[in-house]
Amino acid sequence: MTKLPQKLIEWLEVRLPLEPLRRAVEHKTVPTHRYTVCYYLGGMTLFLFLIQVVTGILLMLYYRPSASEAFESVEFIMTTVPFGWLIRSIHSWSAHLMIFFAFVHLATVYFMGAYRKPREVTWMTGSMLLFLAMAFGFSGYLLPWNQLAYFATNVGTDIAGAVPVIGEYAVRFLRGGERVGGGTLSRFYGWHVAILPAITTGVLVIHLILVQILGMSTPPSLEQEARKHRPMKFFPNFLLRDLFGWVLALALLATLAAIFPGELGEKADPFAPAFKDIKPEWYFMFMFETLKVMPGGEFLGIEYEAIPILLFGLGGLILLFVPFVDRNTSAGTGFTVAGLVITTYVVGMTAWGYRSFLPILIAIATLLVIFLFGYPQRRSRKKGE
C-alpha cells in the first residue's frame, strides 16, 4: 500500500516532465523577518477565490438569470435545495473576506515596497485582480433581484452617468438599456459567471507565475534582519502554515455562514417607492460617502459629482502604475505617508458611512495581528546554528 504513491509518481514522471517543477518547489524559500506573516496574505486571497469558484458553480446549477425567476430561484436555493443556504451564505461571506484580504495584501505589498523592480508587472496584475474582485462584487449584488439590489444598482449605475462625455454611453453599456431591468440582470450574470472569471483566471495565472519566477521580496529596511535568519523552506514548512490558515478561514466561513446566513429580503419591484436604506457593499462605501458630501449643481457644464468620480478613476490609474511613479530603489517616506493618508481616508469614510467604529476596530485589529504575529523571532534559527 505504501508503495502506491511512489509508483504513481514514477508513472507520472515517465509521462510528464515533473522534475523541473519538483526542483523549483524544493529550492523555493521564503524570507524570515518580523513581517513574514504578510507573505500568507496572497495565498489566503487565492484560497478564498477558489472557494468562490466552487460555491459559484454549485449556485449556478439552480440559479435562473431572468427578472421573473431570479428571486424565486434564490428563494428555492435558500429553502429547498439541500445545504443550498449554506453554499449561498459561504459564497457571500467568502466574497467579503476575499476582497478584505486583497485590500490587506495590497497594503502590505505597498508598504513593504514589493512593487519595485523587478516586480512591476506582479503589482500591475495584482491591482487588476483587485478591480476585477470589486467588479465581481458589483455584478453579483444584483443577481438575487431583491429590492436592495435593484435600487442600489440603479444608484450605482447612475453614478457612471455623471462622467463627462462618456457618461450616457457608460450607463447604457452597464444597464443594457435605458433602465435597470431584465436586460441588466442577464448582462450582469454574463459578466459575473463568464467574462470576469475568464479575465481573472488569465490575470491570476500571470500574477502567480511571476511570483514563482521572481520569488518573494525582502523589504529594503529588513534586509539586514532577514540575512541573520535562515529563510523558511516553502515546501513543506511555509505551505503547511498556509494550509493551517486556510483551515482556520474555512472554520470562520462556516461559523459566519451559520450565524449570519445570507439575507434575501423582498423581490425587486421597479414601481415601488425608492428603497429607503440604499447602501453599497462596504468596499464601495468610501466612494459612495465622498459622492454624498458633494454639493449639487455644475461648473462649466461639469457636475460637481463628476469631480470625485474622475479623481477615483485617476486614483485607480495611479494605483496601477505605482511602480513607475515611485522611482526610488529604497524605501521612500513620501510614498509611505501618501499610503497612510489614503488608507486612513478609506477606513475613515467607511466608518462614517456606517456611522460605526467597527471598520476602524477591524483596521486596528488587522494591524495588531501583523505587528504581534509576525514571524516569531525567538524561534527562528540563526544561520550556522
Question: Could you report how far apart the first and last alpha carbons of the chain are, in Å?
Answer: 38
Residue 94 binding ligand HEM, by CB under 6 A:
no
Q: By CB under 6 A, is residue 154 in contact with ligand HEM?
A: no
Determine which residue in the list 67, 70, 78, 106 makes contact with ligand HEM, applying CB under 6 A: 106
Does position 211 bind ligand HEM by CB under 6 A? yes
Residues 356-385 that bind ligand HEM (CB under 6 A): none
Contact call for residue 45 and ligand HEM (CB under 6 A): yes
Shortest reach from residue 128's CB to ligand HEM, in Å: 8
Query: CB nearest ligand HEM: which residue?
Result: 126
Q: Contact region for ligand HEM (CB under 6 A) — 60-68, 114-122, 180-188, 361-369?
A: 114-122
**For residue 149, how many other CB atoms are within 10 A of its CB?**
24
How far is C-alpha 202 from the chain's CA centre?
A: 16
* Choices 16-24, 127-135, 274-282, 287-295; region in contact with ligand HEM by CB under 6 A: 127-135
Stretch that binds ligand HEM, among 116-124, 288-296, 324-332, 359-367 (CB under 6 A): 116-124
In the complex with ligand HEM, which residue's Cβ is closer, 55 or 217? 217
Does 118 sit behind a cis peptide bond, omega within 30 degrees of 0 on the bond before it? yes
Choose the binding region for ligand HEM from 43-51, 75-83, 156-164, 355-363 (rule: CB under 6 A).
43-51
Q: Is 70 in the site for ligand HEM (CB under 6 A)?
A: no
- Side-chain-side CA neighbours of 365 within 13 Å: the count stands at 6
Say whether residue 32 binds ligand HEM (CB under 6 A). Answer: no
114 binds ligand HEM (CB under 6 A): yes
User: Measured between alpha carbons, how far is 48 from 78 in angstroms, rounded to an integer?
Assistant: 22
For binding to ligand HEM (CB under 6 A), which residues are involved?
A: 39, 41-43, 45-46, 49, 102, 105-106, 109, 114-115, 119, 122-123, 126-127, 129-130, 133, 204, 207, 211, 216-217
